[in-house]
Copies of this chain bind each other. A is one copy, B any other.
Amino acid sequence: MADRKIILSAVLGDGYGSLPFAWRAPQVDPGNYANIDANIRYAQAAERGGFAFVFTPDVPAVRSDVERSSIPNIMDPLMEAAAISQATTNIGFVLTGSTTFQEPFNTARQFKVLDIMSHGRAGWNAVTTSDPMVAANYGKPVADRGERYQRAHESVQIVQSLWGSWEKDAWIKDQATGRFIDPAKLQPINLGGQHVASRGPLPLPPSEQGQPVVFTAGGPSPHLLEFAGRYASGFLAEVWEIEEARAQRDAVRKAAEDAGRNPDHIKFFTGLVTTVAPTVREGLDRRMALSGGVFDARLPHLGAMLGVPLRPQDIDIPLTPEQLSVAHAAPGDPRSGIALRLAQAGWSPRDMLAHGAIDFHPVTVGPGHVHADHMQEWFEAGATDGFWIMPDVWEDGLDAFVDEVVPLLRERGVYPDDYVGSTLRENLGIPEQYGIGGWLK
């Protein structure tokens, strides 16, 4: 633990950014969504910053008001990563894939091919898909959680077994003796459950890291914790406050221990939406310009988070002492504490909203040290092993992070100076894996 360092990851998605109108930013080409060159550029920027992996969420459906907003999703995680793998050398790929709407054999195959094509840099973020708009694209309703997790267990066991169906040195390929594969080291898996089944073996050899790394993502429900504890080497969390993050990280580590695993072999990541700017003010202005004018509509929600009714005409006025004296963090919304601290610091409601008080993940805005401080504090408090970074606008936001935040983290000794190795497992600090997973032993 002495040389424990922050692990960084960059989200890749639609090619624009986390702000609703990022696609309209002057520095952004509005065709980026369908232009693989954009995500190649961003992955290369992240690689320049020593990021361990890019992370692609995946919610494949047209869900937003597409007349004015972009479709906030990557075209396809695996297909884009296949292309990006050829233009990068060290950065890993943690790609979301559904256990509900994918056949385990197809998942095992495509992730393993990415692992091979990237020389050991693939990871699978295994999620049970609960979005009804996605389910409808497969002509199905959303199953209840019990059924989704039953299928998820079956799927990941089949996938990991298929990955392990070749032992480390099964592929001999000796032209002189004519032995291609050692048949004793290549075995079918013959696994079948209630929902999915496969015989195997997978027709694919191990990669430089053995097999892809399993991640999962979500809140700390008992279902997800058990799933993560058994199979996952990475956990992508959604959490706003440092205490809550530490509790979640402890719960995830305990779940791994309960499953008989080393808790250091599951890494816990919290999210961070970043706007890097010379000053906080400039950062807020940058965010405002691309927020799509949603602030007026969100004002009542912000008021509810603070327990203080906010009127439209007061949007630019910091809360009065009277308002502050009754303001409190509403317990129903985990972001309320952040909003309260901003209010107490004298921010206007508009600036609080521009800061992302009602966004999906914690937000940091301002010069490099603002972001570095947040990360160092969380990391040193044992609240996280690293961060997935979601820039406001990819085109310049990721470069700004690499140029202005990464050097500070390195100066402070909390971030590695270079890649530890060329595989994802090496850069995460988890062991290579060959053969069948521990859960079957």
**What residue in chain B is nearest A28 (Cβ atoms)?**
B175
Given contact pairs A24-B178, A30-B180, enumerate 9 new A-B contacts (beta carbons under 8 Å): A21-B178, A30-B174, A36-B117, A60-B105, A62-B186, A62-B203, A67-B179, A79-B82, A82-B82
A203-B199 Cα distance, complex, nearest whole Å? 33
Does A182 count as interface, using CB distance less than 8 angstroms?
yes
Distance in Å from the Cβ of A132 to the closest Cβ of chain B?
Answer: 10
- Give the residues in chain B near A136, CB-CB below 8 Å: 198-199
Distance in Å from the Cβ of A417 to the closest Cβ of chain B?
Answer: 30
**What residue in chain B is nearest A170 (Cβ atoms)?**
B66
Distance in Å from the Cβ of A19 to the closest Cβ of chain B?
Answer: 13
**Which of A49-57, A106-114, A259-267, A341-349 contacts the other chain?**
A106-114
Does A89 count as interface, using CB distance less than 8 angstroms?
no
Does A318 count as interface, using CB distance less than 8 angstroms?
no
- Give the residues in chain B near A69, CB-CB below 8 Å: 180
Does A279 count as interface, using CB distance less than 8 angstroms?
no
- Give the residues in chain B near A24, CB-CB below 8 Å: 175, 178
**Which of A3-11, A70-78, A227-235 contacts the other chain?**
A70-78
A71-B34 Cα distance, complex, nearest whole Å? 35
Contact string against B for A residues 86-98, beta-carbon threshold 8 Å, 1 for contact and 0 otherwise? 1100000000000
Does A200 count as interface, using CB distance less than 8 angstroms?
yes
Interchain CB contact under 8 A, A192 and B139: yes
Does A375 count as interface, using CB distance less than 8 angstroms?
no
Interchain CB contact under 8 A, B66 and A186: yes
A214-B288 Cα distance, complex, nearest whole Å? 46
Does A101 count as interface, using CB distance less than 8 angstroms?
yes
Interchain CB contact under 8 A, B101 and A66: no
Checking B138, B179, B197 against A139 with a beta-carbon cut-off of 8 angstroms, the contacting residue is B197
- Give the residues in chain B near A102, CB-CB below 8 Å: 103, 106
Distance in Å from the Cβ of A125 to the closest Cβ of chain B?
Answer: 17
Interchain CB contact under 8 A, B178 and A75: no
Does A384 count as interface, using CB distance less than 8 angstroms?
no
Knowing A31-B173, A173-B30, A204-B34, the reply to whether A137 touches B105 (Cβ < 8 A) is: yes
Knowing A85-B83, A138-B198, A139-B192, the reply to whether A113 touches B75 (Cβ < 8 A) is: yes
Does A23 count as interface, using CB distance less than 8 angstroms?
yes
Does A238 count as interface, using CB distance less than 8 angstroms?
no
A183-B67 Cα distance, complex, nearest whole Å? 6
Interchain CB contact under 8 A, B30 and A71: no
Interchain CB contact under 8 A, A183 and B114: no
A106-B138 Cα distance, complex, nearest whole Å? 9
- Give the residues in chain B near A116, CB-CB below 8 Å: 34, 36, 75
- Give the residues in chain B near A301, CB-CB below 8 Å: none
**What residue in chain B is nearest A192 (Cβ atoms)?**
B139
Interchain CB contact under 8 A, B34 and A138: no
Does A271 count as interface, using CB distance less than 8 angstroms?
no
Does A241 count as interface, using CB distance less than 8 angstroms?
no
A17-B425 Cα distance, complex, nearest whole Å? 34
A33-B110 Cα distance, complex, nearest whole Å? 15
- Give the residues in chain B near A86, CB-CB below 8 Å: 36, 83, 86-87
Distance in Å from the Cβ of A200 to the closest Cβ of chain B?
Answer: 6
- Give the residues in chain B near A82, CB-CB below 8 Å: 78-80, 82-83
Interchain CB contact under 8 A, A109 and B76: yes
A149-B83 Cα distance, complex, nearest whole Å? 33
